[in-house]
Each structure stands twice: as structure tokens, then as C-alpha cells.
Copies of this chain bind each other. A is one copy, B any other.
């Protein structure tokens, strides 16, 4: 169980690629001397799981020896389950900060909705734990996380020095270039983009059809204040995220038209 030195922040680390992925190892390396780090992460890949929780089956967790002296647990749950298990069954308290990632692949623009990495961070934010999701724009297992480690350390150090809102939630995306090509860190809004689906239709050996989800990313947003704009120019993008999904503009419109009165 986590034992806390005086004033040393407890940092919960999770991800969606699974506990053995290089991304989470690099995240732990980047922050392990900034506080008491505890890892609670899925035992299998959970990309694209969104904000899924496990309600129809029970969960299991096992202590692992994967990160040297850093306490680590793998669970059979989703990224969101991991945050819930960490708070209730491992830490027995809220950590001071939750970090999710480093994801192998982009989570900018509309990807925030589908991302297990960002859903874990959002779950922490709902619980009142400041939280940051990190993603590198390189989906490969052998991606180079050297610059990412530096960026993560810079951002986490700055955040730990500030008195921040307990619901703070940041979506950080890092361009896949060496450190000396990174132009800086930009606070952005989420670009309006979507995927144009194109299912790959195949026939199995028994003559029955099956479909693989594929899709082409389309950015419809011409703004110069978006995450996609910043990343295309080799800036690190930081999008502050919220879990109040109310569309207040549409709410006013509907109230004005009295459509449902």
C-alpha cells in the first residue's frame, strides 16, 4: 500500500495501451522522483474503449514488479475501472494527481471522445483529482519517447507547483519529432474533426461476411487556436477538458423557441 512521505504528492499513473507498453514505462521514468508514484493499469490493450466501465463481470488485480521500486498493479478492467480500483482498493484515498499515458498515438480533436487514455484522466477529474492525459503522435510500439519524457516532466513540474482546481483536466498531445524541433507548448481548443468511416468488408472461410472498422481522419476546423493546428506546426498542444457536456448555446435556443412548452 502507498506510504506517503511528508508533503510528497501521490501520483497515480495509468494508461490504455496496457501496463507493459513502452509509453507507460516512459511516463513513470519521467515523473518517478516528483512524488510517490503508484501504477494501476490494464493487463490488456484498451484503446478505443472510451469511458467504458465493467458492470457485468467482476474485476481482478495483481501486484506486479515492472517498474523497479515503483508500486504497480495490473487489473482486468478498463482504464476507467483502473482509476476507480486505485482510489477505492489500492491507495484508499485520492491521489494528488493522476497521469494517463503516454499513449501510443494521437488523442487530439475528436479522439478525446473515443480515447481510453483520456477517459481514465476524465474519471479522475470527476472524482476531484487533477489529471493529465499524454499522447505521442506515433502509434508504433517502438516509438521514440525521448522528447515526450522531457515534455511530461516540464508540464507535471509546473502543475505540481500551482494550486490548481481539483477538476483540472488536460489533454496533452506531443508531436513525433526530436526535442530540438518542438516549438513550445500551446494552450488550445479541441478542433472540430471526425472520421469518415469505411468498413473493410471481407468473407470468412465459411462464406459469411465480416467487417473491419477503418476510417479517414478529416479536420473541418480552419481555426488557428486548435490542437490540430498547433501539432501540425510542431507545438505541444494542451487542451483543457470538461465533463459538463451541456450545450449551453443550444439550451438557450430551445428555451427561447419554447419548443417543448
Tell me whether A190 and B246 are in contact (CB under 8 A).
Answer: yes
A199 CB contacts on chain B under 8 angstroms: 59, 84-85, 88-89
Within 8 A of B (CB), among A202-261: 202, 208-213, 238-248, 250-251, 254-255, 257, 259-261
B48 touches A54 (CB 8 A): yes
Question: A168's contact among B169, B185, B250, by CB below 8 Å, is which?
Answer: B250
24 contacts between A and B (CB under 8 A): A48-B56, A49-B52, A50-B51, A50-B119, A51-B113, A51-B119, A54-B213, A58-B211, A58-B212, A59-B212, A59-B213, A84-B213, A87-B197, A89-B201, A89-B211, A110-B243, A112-B245, A155-B260, A184-B260, A192-B244, A238-B254, A239-B245, A239-B246, A242-B245
Asked whether A13 is an interface residue with its Cβ less than 8 Å from the other chain, the reply is: no
Taking a contact as CB atoms under 8 Å apart, the answer to whether B197 and A84 are in contact is yes
User: In the complex, A24 Cα to B122 Cα: how many Å?
Assistant: 30
1/0 contact string of A84-111 vs chain B (CB within 8 Å): 1101110000000000000000000010
A113-B51, A202-B58 given as contacts; is B246 within 8 A of A242 (CB)? yes
A179 on the B face (CB < 8 A): no
Which residue of the partner chain B has the closest CB to A119? B50
- The answer to whether A211 touches B51, judged by C-beta atoms less than 8 angstroms apart, is no
How many Å lie between the Cα of A113 and that of B213 in the bound state?
23
Inter-chain CA distance A201–B187, complex, in Å, is 42
Check: A43 CB closer than 8 A to any chain B CB. no
Residues of B within 8 A of A126 (CB): 110, 113, 194
A250 CA to B48 CA, complexed, in Å: 26
Excluding A47-B55, A58-B210, A88-B198, 19 further A-B contacts by CB distance (< 8 Å) are A48-B53, A50-B80, A55-B213, A58-B211, A59-B210, A60-B210, A61-B211, A87-B197, A89-B201, A89-B211, A159-B259, A162-B259, A185-B260, A187-B260, A189-B244, A189-B246, A239-B251, A240-B248, A241-B247
CA A186 to CA B259, docked complex, whole Å: 10
Q: Is the CB of A245 within 8 A of B250?
A: no
A184 to chain B, nearest CB (A): 8
Query: Which chain B residue shows the least CB distance to A210?
Result: B58
Interface residues in A24-79 by Cβ distance below 8 A to B read 45, 47-56, 58-61
Contact check, A114 vs B53: say whether CB atoms are below 8 A apart. Answer: yes
Q: Point out the residues of chain B lying under 8 angstroms from A241, CB to CB.
A: 245-247
A214 CB, nearest partner CB in chain B, Å:
9
Residues of chain B within 8 A of A81, CB atoms compared? 213
